[in-house]
Amino acid sequence: MTNPSESTMTGVRADLKDLIALRAQARRLDLAPRGRVLATRSGGHLSRFRGRGMEFDESRVYQPGDDPRNMDWRVTARAGAPHVKIFREERERPVWLLVDQGPSMRFGTRVAFKSVVAARVAALLGWAAVDRGDRVGGLVFDETRHLERRPAARGAGLLPLLDRLAALPAAAGDGQTSLAEASGHLAPLVRPGSLVAVVSDFADLAEAESGWLARLASGTELLLILIHDPIESEVPPPGRYPVLAGLRRGLLDLTRVDVRTTYQERFTQRLALIERLARRHGAHWLRLSTLDPVGPALALGLGARGGARPAGAAS
C-alpha cells in the first residue's frame, strides 16, 4: 500500500493549482461548433437565430419591415431588385463535462494515472470554453459519490469541478458508480445546443446498455475522449509488471499467451465499440494515451486553431 502522503505526487493525483494554470494552454484549443447550434445568451458561437449580429449569413429580397440599414447594395445593383443582408447572431452555448474518476481510471504504469490525465483534459476543455464566453458545468464521479454543477459563466461552474478532480476519493457516498448511471443523472439537465464532453476510459461501456449515449447526443454536440494507458493499447513483452491501481501496487502477469491475447483483444474491441457508437450517434471521438503531452495532443485532436488536423482515431 502506498503512503497516503505520496498520493499528492505529480501523476498520481491531480493538483488544483496545476489545473487552474492550464488556462494558458487552453487558448490553443478550438471548441468552435462543427455546425450551427441553438443557444439563448450572447457569447462566441453562431446560432440558428437570425437578426442583426456579428456574422453575415446571406442576402435575400427586401421585404416590407426590413431595416433599410441592412441593405446589400452590391447584390441590389447586380440583381436589379432590393436585397438586405441577414446575419447570424453569436450566442453562447452551455458546455458540460462528464468526467470519470472511478477505480479503473486510477491506474497507471508510466507518467500519470488515467484519472489525472482526465482531470487535465477536463480543465483544458473547461478553460477553453470559459475563454470563449461559454458557461461551463458538469459532473465528476467515482465509485462513491458525484459532484454536479450547472453551467455558469466566468469559471463559476468550472472551479468546483476542478476542486473535486483534485480531491481524494471518498470512503462512502451516494453510489454513482458507472458512466451509464452518471449520464442518466446528467442527461435530463442538458439542453439542446449544448456541448457535452465525456472523458473516461470507457471500461464499462457495453453496447446493450449504451442508450445513455443516445440521450446525451440528442440535440447536442457530443465529444467522447478515451483515456488509456500504453500497456492497455499494446501488450508489452511477456513478463510480470508492477503497476499502480488506485493507491495500491500490484503485478500484472502477462506471461501466458492466452492471457496476453485476451488482454489485447479487450482493448481492440473497446476501440471498435466506441467508434461504432460514435458514428451511430453522430459524436466526435478521440483517444489520448497517458504518455501524450495532454495540451498539444488535445489541441491536435480537436483541430488546433493553426489548422492542425485531428490525429489518430479522432473523428
Tens-place pLDDT, residues 207-227: 998 999 999 998 899 999 999
Residue 310 placed within a domain: no
Quick one: pLDDT at residue 281?
92
Residue 149 placed within a domain: yes
Residue after which a domain boundary falls, among 91, 119, 153: 91
Residue 114 backbone phi and psi in degrees, to 5: -60, -35
Quick one: cell of 38? 441553438
Domain with 171 in it: 4-37+93-302
Q: Please say whether the beta carbons of 124 and 26 come within 8 A.
A: yes
Same domain, 68 and 187: no
Residue 315 placed within a domain: no
8-state DSSP, 106: S
Same domain, 224 and 107: yes
Same domain, 105 and 220: yes
Residue 147 φ/ψ region, left for φ over 0, alpha for ψ in the -120 to 50 degree band, beta for the rest: beta
Residue 119 placed within a domain: yes
More confident residue, 10 or 123: 123
Residue 73 placed within a domain: yes
Same domain, 129 and 183: yes
Q: Which amino acid is at 185?
A: H
Same domain, 85 and 215: no
Same domain, 77 and 161: no
Residue 129 placed within a domain: yes
Would you place residue 117 in the very low, low, confident or very high pLDDT band (cuts 50, 70, 90)?
Answer: very high
> Measured between alpha carbons, how far is 200 from 101 in angstroms, rounded to an integer?
8
Q: Please say whether the beta carbons of 202 and 177 come within 8 A.
A: no
> Measured between alpha carbons, how far is 298 from 288 in angstroms, rounded to an integer?
8
Same domain, 63 and 157: no
| Mean pLDDT, residues 256-269 taken together | 89
Same domain, 185 and 58: no
Mean pLDDT of the chain: 82
- Looking at the structure of the chain, the number of domains it has is 2
Give kind and range of the element (H or E) at residue 115.
helix 114-131
> Measured between alpha carbons, how far is 282 from 315 in angstroms, rounded to an integer?
10
Q: Please say whether the beta carbons of 156 and 121 come within 8 A.
A: no
Neighbours of 210 (CB within 10 A): 17
Would you place residue 95 in the very low, low, confident or very high pLDDT band (cuts 50, 70, 90)?
Answer: very high
Q: Is 95 helix (H, G, I), strand (E, B) or coil?
A: strand
Q: Please say whether the beta carbons of 168 and 115 come within 8 A.
A: no
For CA atoms 11, 14, 19, 20, give the dihedral sign.
Answer: negative
Q: Reduced to 3 DSSP states, what percent helix, strand and coil does the chain have, rounded to the nearest 5? A: 35, 25, 35
Same domain, 196 and 287: yes
Same domain, 97 and 173: yes
- Cell numbers 477553453: residue: 128
> Measured between alpha carbons, how far is 105 from 114 in angstroms, rounded to an integer?
5
pTM of the model: 0.77
pLDDT digits (tens, 9 = 90+) for 229-241: 998 888 888 998 8
> Measured between alpha carbons, how far is 252 from 15 in angstroms, rounded to an integer?
28
Q: Please say whether the beta carbons of 43 and 93 come within 8 A.
A: yes
Q: What angle do CA 298, 299, 301 make, to 5 degrees?
A: 60
Residue 11 backbone phi and psi in degrees, to 5: 100, -25
**What CATH number should be reported for the domain holding residue 216?**
3.40.50.410
Candidates 266, 259, 219, 215; CA nearest to 238 is: 259
Q: What angle do CA 243, 248, 246 make, to 5 degrees?
A: 85
Quick one: pLDDT at residue 170?
60
Would you place residue 55 in the very low, low, confident or very high pLDDT band (cuts 50, 70, 90)?
Answer: low
Quick one: pLDDT at residue 244?
61
Same domain, 222 and 295: yes
8-state DSSP, 103: G
Same domain, 126 and 81: no
Residue 313 placed within a domain: no
Quick one: pLDDT at residue 72?
92
Distances in Å between the alpha carbon of 109 and those of 11, 25, 106, 140, 299? 10, 26, 11, 23, 24
Asked if the model's pLDDT at residue 53 lies above 70, the reply is no
Residue 175 placed within a domain: yes
